[in-house]
């Protein structure tokens, strides 16, 4: 079966009758089902005109990012964006990092680093990897990165804001990797890993707060 079987009608059918993965009020929803034997996940957006417009914009952004990243091991295959409000992706049968952290940590973080480098090489900075629900953990050791709703794609030429934002999110991706790998204990970083760490202002503020407020509980 080719990707062509995943058409607008089949995708709408999953939204109507598939398994609901999540439903956030009148904002949007996520559904899963199969098309021609392939597991497919559909992110659907709707809502009032203002929120629907914003979410459609994010979904389009996500679609462009997935297209750029096609073929990278650890990024779900994208079947397309249908009618501007249904994004169809390969469904990965794996829990999120939040629900089920990796068991083979060394292998997992080495692979996750490889995926981050691969997406950066294609000009995409993810920007939302601090959230553990945006990383899937398959068989306790294999990472998948999802949710490119705030990703920034590097635009060649004179685009100062794009270049600044891309650089900011690019660094944020490595900081997120280190945060998960070291469980926020940044002082334990190896010198090799520390070379990738550059706390951006918001991370610095969070660390200072943590040091001050968690100090009384250390050692308990
Ligand atoms: N390709 C996929 N395969 C399997 N599960 C997925 C996939 N994409 C998303 N999910 C599941 O749906 C959840 C929400 O997906 P995603 O983060 O892309 O949407 P979102 O609208 O940005 O939601 P949130 O606000 O919760 O981040 C994920 O945490 C994950 O459990
Ligand atoms: Mg998400």
**Pair 67, 110 in one domain:** no
Q: Which residues have a Cβ under 8 Å from the Cβ of 189 and sit 6 or more positions away? A: 178, 182, 197
Residues 84, 110 within the same domain: no
Structural domains of the chain, count:
2
pLDDT of 120 reads: 98
CA 51 vs CA 58, 81, 86, 183: distances in Å: 11, 18, 15, 35
In this structure, the answer to whether residues 148 and 190 fall within a common structural domain is yes
Consecutive 10-residue averages of pLDDT for the chain (220 residues): 86 96 81 96 89 90 97 98 96 98 98 98 97 97 96 98 97 97 95 92 64 55
> Is residue 32 included in any domain, yes or no?
yes
Distance of alpha carbon 26 from alpha carbon 23, whole angstroms? 8
**Is 159 inside any structural domain?**
yes
Q: Residue 59's domain spans which residues? A: 3-90
Beta carbons within 10 angstroms of residue 97's beta carbon:
21
pTM: 0.91
> Tell me, what's the pLDDT at 199?
85
Q: Is the CB of 89 under 6 A from ligand 1?
A: yes
Residue 188 CB neighbour total at 10 angstroms: 11
Radius of gyration (C-alpha) of the chain in whole angstroms = 19
Give a yes or no: residue 207 inside a domain. Answer: yes
Ligand nearest to the CA of 22: 1
- Nearest residue by C-alpha to atom 26 in ligand 1: 133
């Amino acid at each position: 079966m080719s990707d062509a079987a995943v058409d607008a009608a089949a995708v709408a059918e999953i939204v109507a009758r598939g398994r609901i993965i999540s439903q956030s009020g009148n904002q949007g929803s996520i559904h899963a089902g199969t098309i021609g034997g392939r597991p497919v996940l559909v992110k659907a957006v709707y809502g009032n005109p203002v929120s629907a417009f914003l979410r459609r914009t994010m979904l389009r952004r996500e679609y462009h990012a997935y297209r750029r990243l096609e073929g990278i091991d650890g990024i779900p295959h994208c079947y397309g964006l249908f009618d501007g409000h249904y994004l169809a992706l390969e469904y990965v049968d794996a829990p999120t990092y939040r629900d089920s952290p990796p068991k083979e940590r060394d292998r997992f973080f080495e692979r996750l680093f490889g995926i981050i480098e691969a997406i950066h090489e294609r000009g995409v900075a993810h920007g939302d990897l601090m959230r553990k629900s945006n990383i899937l953990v398959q068989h306790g050791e294999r990472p998948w990165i999802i949710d490119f709703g705030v990703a920034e794609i590097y635009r060649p030429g004179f685009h100062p804001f794009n270049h600044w934002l891309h650089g900011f999110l690019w660094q944020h991706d490595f900081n997120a990797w280190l945060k998960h790998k070291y469980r926020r204990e940044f002082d334990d970083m190896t010198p090799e890993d520390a070379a990738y760490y550059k706390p951006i202002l918001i991370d610095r503020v969070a660390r200072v707060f943590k040091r001050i407020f968690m100090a009384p509980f250390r050692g308990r």
